[in-house]
Amino acid sequence: MARKGSKIGGWAFLIGLVIAVIVGFGLGGNLSQGMVITLFVIGLIVGLLNIADEEVTPFLMSGTVLVIVASLSKDVLSTVAFVGSVLDALLILFVPATVVIAVKNVFQLAKH
């Protein structure tokens, strides 16, 4: 998933996922402002550094599906507290990454 030579993006993605799951399980939905900012910044880093040109379409498809399903299923899965929290944390991580990749893809398409 990472560009050749871009270990920062790969590590940011892995760290972001681990933080999102730990925060979701551990805090039960009480995301602090600092944790939201941390996940958001990691999402930006993932979007900027982690996706190679040939991975844009699969990432956008997967990221978009994840964002839609996580957004729509939060209410349904609210009876299991930690699942809703994990989904919230994943949304905070994936929304900025998906937006950055989509914007980069639009600029790439406009060049042609």
> What single string gives the DSSP state of each residue in 86-110?
HHHHHHHHHHHHHHHHHHHHHHHHH
pLDDT for res 29: 61
Q: Among 43, 36, 40, 47, which Cα is nearest to 2's?
A: 47
What is the C-alpha separation between 7 and 106, in angstroms, rounded? 25
What is the C-alpha separation between 112 and 2, in angstroms, rounded? 24
* Contact criterion met (CB below 8 Å) for 51 and 3: yes
pLDDT for res 28: 60
Q: Which residues of the chain have pLDDT under 70?
A: 1-6, 27-29, 78, 81
pLDDT for res 102: 93
SS3 15: helix
pLDDT tens, residue by residue, 74-105:
777 767 767 778 888 899 999 999 999 999 99
Taking the domains of the chain in order of start, what are their residue ranges?
Answer: 7-111
pLDDT for res 49: 84
* Contact criterion met (CB below 8 Å) for 89 and 24: yes
CA torsion, points 97, 93, 60, 76, in degrees to nearest 10? Answer: -150
